[in-house]
Structure 1
């Protein structure tokens, strides 16, 4: 191979592309736009690892809880911190109360100065929300004066809602893991990163393949824009002495010019999109522009691979085209496409995936190279099969209306062009169908039933011992949107005042409230009960023995909480009660004590737990309850009861898929529109001639619609078949039952059809402008 000759021919093709006048520039620009959109998405994909790493690093740098169960001694460099995170209209709000204990107390990342009591520093997004009309309810929950904003280093994303507020006597307000004394911000030495199991790793791998493969298909299609006009130019080159190989290399140079210009446009699209990234938020996930920095090695790979692929695709496309000095033989009826080698790609792909069938989580990670190779071959097989399917189908289509016959004849002459336009969306739909099947098949393994009875209550709130039972009950029952609120007090009894060996649970309240947690045949104020059959009943009968001494709210060494330990001589007269699951599904054990039988000095150690039933007709009822809880106790624990709980890792993967699928759909729509406009531009004179001979514009518009609808219908049908096959194989690999989620299949194909319909509608205005008789006029 003569490298110098190759370089000269490619350079000549580049000169033809950039120096061919208006026609050449339009053709090069269309190619560049198509390639540029794909390059922008590829650059985004190469930037994702760095973006995720930066987000994770900032999140790790601000970690503030060790959950060790121990408390540091007070010092000049310690800080007491309390978790006050909340939720506002399905958006998470990260909150912390800070109480410095010395001049050297650590500062959270992104915070220049610790807020004083009654003050807070907030993220820019939370600042905007609180100052807007929609943030009025949340402002009531955060009664602090804003004195500053949290900088970039303290936030995982620009849309994150977060705040730090000043607190006081935090250790005396709440026990457990929500309050801790720390001397630094950062990851705990004992913390371990969450590792994905083999099935979730497989899911992540398939997500990346499904999202990136259509991008490559679109780039390959974009470099072939203007194929028919290019072939006529190549025939002219043959007429002046170029041989067939030289003509093909010159065509490769033209494609190279469009690809290089596409790299420039793609870089511009990416930089523009990166600056707009702060305004994009998908399921609470957002990124800073500085996070989206592609790896230099990956950028270099894209910069080399895209132009090389443009030349290679062009040479392969022209391999079966005979270019003669007087024309291109493609205008004659082309030979029928062969099927046998087109079936090899998906069959080899299935063969690569077959050895991993039945592996599940029990045999370690799946072989990544076999997964990548098998999935890519199976999906790429669509691009090989679709031209044959379109050709074989349209060859049998004849009779029909004028618009139908015009469309069918055009497809019979250039079925390959129609198939190329559909290839990308077919690959995307097939991958989406397979992913939806995989998600549906494994979702049950990562979704657990909570046991919550949402018919009895929809929220559970726990407030600390400083709040009286009667006050908590009055506040919750008086909250707008609350149908019913049942408040019960809880504490524990130990066999020792300090570090007890055995504890039993105690519930305190009125007879009506105690019936939420036990089955009572009869009850009056002053009664006491032993619960039989609870989940954690303990040695209730032995401990609660008349005449013995037990201790309310016993103290543990190293506990961050302040205990209100009270000795109690166990009286006689306990009755028995049967256990009953509370609205959270927990069957309580231990003792029940009505308010009249509780020692007066034991009330300080009681925590109040409210089970709240909401009126669905009241807007923001959940947030109103959260506001009430915050007024009673800023450190209140508020939970929304649900019947199921799904793995956070699976939800994160699904969110990533949603973000990526949104970008791919935008690319699909934009690329299809560019391709459609290029096809119309190629046929501009033909359309003008048909209108000049009296063809109605409605007929031509319908013919263009049919030319799009027929390949799309065939492509979506083939994509559904391949997607179902891939989904079934993936489910077999994960040792899951193969179940077809027809709703998801129809939804994915419907989304693909909707994108094509939108593109067709957007192309109608330029089509109508081209259908003018004066389009035949030449200067």
Structure 2
């Protein structure tokens, strides 16, 4: 050989790597099977990495299309000839959000169009997204059709939608006024500046990326080491014909390189296949178009380089502890005990890196990299401890049933293979436990109590009316709606003192007047008695007063009229507050608010005198009626398509926090799917390696059930130890993250469901691997080629 042993130049490296590649693809059926398993395993990981690399582009495209269709109100003071009125008419149908906008042109020029439309819908017409069109055409959409009283005349194109599953419509109106509209504009394309992510939320994002992508890297490292037993026998033969140890290691690296390169091709193919069907997948109400999933060129290049390099590095690292001799294999002799010190050093260094970043209130630049590196080292350290733990524990196991002894003996001989097979579960479980601890402890800062009493009302409707009499008619309409148990109706207007204003009244001279029957008023204020004709004044301490103007009993007030622009008008009616009006104290209403101002029963005032009041109806639904909420929304749309319908919830979650949580769930689902597939591939690879041994055992009279139980124990022992290690490592990382955020542990038992999912996953994979196991135990496994 031209190169000195162990000191090959570039040409020597290239020659040996190419030779390893040739062995990988010319090893007969068994060689091809091993290479196929390796390339498929690497391909799964590469596909998920490509999906992760495409997420930034997909998010940017979705947000860009949303921004392009947002009404631009920046020039509302100087509108062009193509101006229009607009109003949001969003609704919800069986938990799905439907986004709608109503338009009415007001200028004499050509009106600008939102993206995806060829023409603005005329009065009574609407353009709908494909998903909404399918919903309306289905049997489930019959109830929704009643709520959208428009004729579908057009569809919305892809460039006007955030995703293929979005439910969106644009409608035209001939009755929309400036008072009922949300505003007037002349174009689209207003980008709202996004709020920067808070330090704690950014910390969650960083840890989530580490926890979700690290199992992918671990699995790729495991996949390139498939077929270890056959590889060692082949390398021993090479040593017999004259190769030195360094050359043997490089040839082994070449075989791993072949699997990695083919894995890149397989991964790209799987990504293209997944991308094709991406539009049909809905994860936590998020959909993307296939053309959105374009991996970042820089990240793609990094994957293209890192996977082959990692394959070579992992193979060379594995060969450092192997002494392949011409006449023997290292696996036939007792292996050296695994070193513990460096395995403990990794999480210790990660812990120090995380703690030194604990004072950062916002994460930018090097701090983000430091935290990502620290979390990675802690999780990698947990994974690195697993082989040592398995080796140490199984070395002390002895006795028991035959199946148990077969499993233990196999683990004592080759515990590294079993440890590698479950390392992905360990790192994923540890990362998930840490994230759940962090989520559980900080979610209180991003989840707010609204004060809503959902036992008294589940929906609230608000709409502007022409006068008080029209407002009172709405309550009757809702009360008669299918699925309504009780409707609380309030008619709310404004009053002010006639004549000059006093002191503090000059800044805010109005007070509120609320008209409702006695049962409804009892939901707002504390009443000892109430009958129709009574009037009440809410008594509030001066420092808690909502309105500066507080009328007194018997005092004249002016019922404020508003014109089409919503501003107070001149010709307001005068009404005298009854002298019998009593002062009462406000209580928390069903929607969590405190009432202020004047409250009167219907007979105390002529409702028709109230100029343009707002009708507010709170509805308690009948739980025994299916789609009760949908019937109420239909009534609201029939009475006024622009009615604001709000679902009352006792808690509210910060939008950024909710978005990150949804993204984490979607990523966790993809990672768990990869882990399940990787475990199955690893199990099949191990069974294929032991095909001849299994057939020999059966031929000598070993029961198939005994061998099946031995395979189960071989998986269960490393998994049990791995999950225990994941709990310790995950809780340790979680506590470190909580120290960084200065929060306390909210739940010490968050690891139970995560370990349960891991155990169930192992059981599922084991059951799926049973049929191939039984086929491998047939006598034809004794044949040699």
What interval of TM-score do these two structures reach, taking the shorter chain for normalisation?
A: over 0.9
- Which residue in the other structure is 2:454 paired with? 454
Q: 1:72 offset after TM fit, Å?
A: 4.6
- Which residue in the other structure is 2:584 paired with? 577
Q: Give the Cα–Cα distance (whole angstroms) in 2 for the partners of residues 562 and 80 of structure 1.
A: 21
Q: Give the Cα–Cα distance (whole angstroms) in 1 for the partners of residues 216 and 363 of structure 2.
A: 33
SS in 2 for 1:605: coil
- Among 755, 775, 778, the alignment partner of 2:781 is 775
Q: Does 1:325 align with 2:326?
A: yes
Q: Give the Cα–Cα distance (whole angstroms) in 1 for the partners of residues 380 and 414 of structure 2.
A: 21
Q: 1:545 offset after TM fit, Å?
A: 7.6
- Which residue in the other structure is 1:145 paired with? 151
Equivalent pair of 1:552/1:602 in contact (CA under 8 Å): no
- Which residue in the other structure is 1:479 paired with? 481
Structure 1 709/363 Cα, relative in aligned 2: closer, same or farther at 3 Å? closer
Structure 1 71/50 Cα, relative in aligned 2: closer, same or farther at 3 Å? closer
- Which residue in the other structure is 1:594 paired with? 601
Q: Give the Cα–Cα distance (whole angstroms) in 2 for the partners of residues 366 and 495 of structure 1.
A: 61
SS in 2 for 1:82: strand
Equivalent pair of 2:331/2:413 in contact (CA under 8 Å): no
- Which residue in the other structure is 2:560 paired with? 552
SS in 1 for 2:674: helix
- Which residue in the other structure is 2:212 paired with? 211
Q: Give the Cα–Cα distance (whole angstroms) in 2 for the partners of residues 699 and 462 of structure 1.
A: 70
Q: Give the Cα–Cα distance (whole angstroms) in 2 for the partners of residues 617 and 492 of structure 1.
A: 38
Q: Give the Cα–Cα distance (whole angstroms) in 1 for the partners of residues 577 and 747 of structure 2.
A: 63
- Which residue in the other structure is 2:677 paired with? 670
- Among 533, 539, 543, the alignment partner of 2:548 is 539
- Which residue in the other structure is 1:199 paired with? 200
Shifted more, 429-438 versus 474-483: the winner is 474-483
Q: 1:387 offset after TM fit, Å?
A: 0.3
Provide, for residues 380-404 of structure 1, a one-character-per-residue CA deviation record: whole Å limited to 9, x for no partner.
Answer: 0122100010001111111111111
Shifted more, 582-591 versus 418-427: the winner is 582-591
Equivalent pair of 1:27/1:226 in contact (CA under 8 Å): yes
Q: Does 1:179 align with 2:185?
A: no
- Among 508, 511, 514, the alignment partner of 2:521 is 514
Equivalent pair of 1:496/1:554 in contact (CA under 8 Å): no
Q: 1:76 offset after TM fit, Å?
A: 2.5
- Which residue in the other structure is 1:632 paired with? 639
SS in 1 for 2:277: helix
1:280-679 equivalences under 5 Å are 280-357=281-358, 359=359, 361=361, 367-466=367-466, 468-495=470-497, 501-533=508-540, 536-541=545-550, 543=551, 548=556, 550-554=558-562, 559=565, 566-571=572-577, 573=579, 574-599=581-606, 601-679=608-686
Unaligned runs of 5+ in 1: none
- Which residue in the other structure is 1:746 paired with? 752
- Which residue in the other structure is 1:232 paired with? 233
Structure 1 25/686 Cα, relative in aligned 2: closer, same or farther at 3 Å? same
Q: Give the Cα–Cα distance (whole angstroms) in 2 for the partners of residues 356 and 295 of structure 1.
A: 29
- Which residue in the other structure is 1:79 paired with? 84
Q: 1:265 offset after TM fit, Å?
A: 0.3
Equivalent pair of 1:494/1:500 in contact (CA under 8 Å): no
Q: Give the Cα–Cα distance (whole angstroms) in 1 for the partners of residues 482 and 386 of structure 2.
A: 60
Structure 1 272/215 Cα, relative in aligned 2: closer, same or farther at 3 Å? same
SS in 2 for 1:764: helix
Q: Give the Cα–Cα distance (whole angstroms) in 1 for the partners of residues 313 and 79 of structure 2.
A: 69
Shifted more, 132-141 versus 591-600: the winner is 591-600
Shifted more, 712-721 versus 543-552: the winner is 543-552
SS in 1 for 2:686: helix
Q: Give the Cα–Cα distance (whole angstroms) in 1 for the partners of residues 322 and 489 of structure 2.
A: 82
- Which residue in the other structure is 1:36 paired with? 43
Q: 1:329 offset after TM fit, Å?
A: 2.2
Q: Give the Cα–Cα distance (whole angstroms) in 2 for the partners of residues 266 and 591 of structure 1.
A: 69
Q: Does 1:91 align with 2:93?
A: no
SS in 1 for 2:177: helix
Shifted more, 615-624 versus 344-353: the winner is 615-624
Q: Give the Cα–Cα distance (whole angstroms) in 2 for the partners of residues 696 and 381 of structure 1.
A: 40
Q: 1:65 offset after TM fit, Å?
A: 6.5
SS in 1 for 2:174: coil
Equivalent pair of 1:198/1:366 in contact (CA under 8 Å): no
Equivalent pair of 2:85/2:185 in contact (CA under 8 Å): yes
Q: 1:371 offset after TM fit, Å?
A: 0.6
Q: Give the Cα–Cα distance (whole angstroms) in 2 for the partners of residues 616 and 741 of structure 1.
A: 36
Equivalent pair of 1:179/1:560 in contact (CA under 8 Å): no
Aligned length: 767
Structure 1 162/624 Cα, relative in aligned 2: closer, same or farther at 3 Å? same
Q: 1:313 offset after TM fit, Å?
A: 0.3
Equivalent pair of 1:382/1:423 in contact (CA under 8 Å): no
- Which residue in the other structure is 2:4 paired with? none
Structure 1 572/683 Cα, relative in aligned 2: closer, same or farther at 3 Å? closer
Q: Give the Cα–Cα distance (whole angstroms) in 1 for the partners of residues 23 and 127 of structure 2.
A: 60
Shifted more, 252-261 versus 136-145: the winner is 136-145
Equivalent pair of 1:170/1:179 in contact (CA under 8 Å): no
Equivalent pair of 2:253/2:316 in contact (CA under 8 Å): yes
Shifted more, 425-434 versus 465-474: the winner is 465-474
Shifted more, 220-229 versus 636-645: the winner is 636-645
Q: 1:171 offset after TM fit, Å?
A: 2.1
Shifted more, 24-33 versus 525-534: the winner is 525-534
SS in 2 for 1:468: helix
1:50-61 equivalences under 5 Å are 50-61=57-68
Structure 1 215/256 Cα, relative in aligned 2: closer, same or farther at 3 Å? same
SS in 1 for 2:334: coil
Structure 1 660/111 Cα, relative in aligned 2: closer, same or farther at 3 Å? same
Provide, for residues 445-490 of structure 1, a one-character-per-residue CA deviation record: whole Å limited to 9, x for no partner.
Answer: 1111111112221111112214823421222111222111111101
Structure 1 564/238 Cα, relative in aligned 2: closer, same or farther at 3 Å? farther
- Which residue in the other structure is 1:249 paired with? 250
Q: Give the Cα–Cα distance (whole angstroms) in 2 for the partners of residues 775 and 217 of structure 1.
A: 32
Q: 1:431 offset after TM fit, Å?
A: 0.1
Q: Give the Cα–Cα distance (whole angstroms) in 1 for the partners of residues 209 and 654 of structure 2.
A: 20
SS in 2 for 1:488: strand
Q: 1:360 offset after TM fit, Å?
A: 7.3
Equivalent pair of 2:493/2:611 in contact (CA under 8 Å): no
Q: Give the Cα–Cα distance (whole angstroms) in 1 for the partners of residues 285 and 438 of structure 2.
A: 24
Equivalent pair of 1:493/1:554 in contact (CA under 8 Å): no
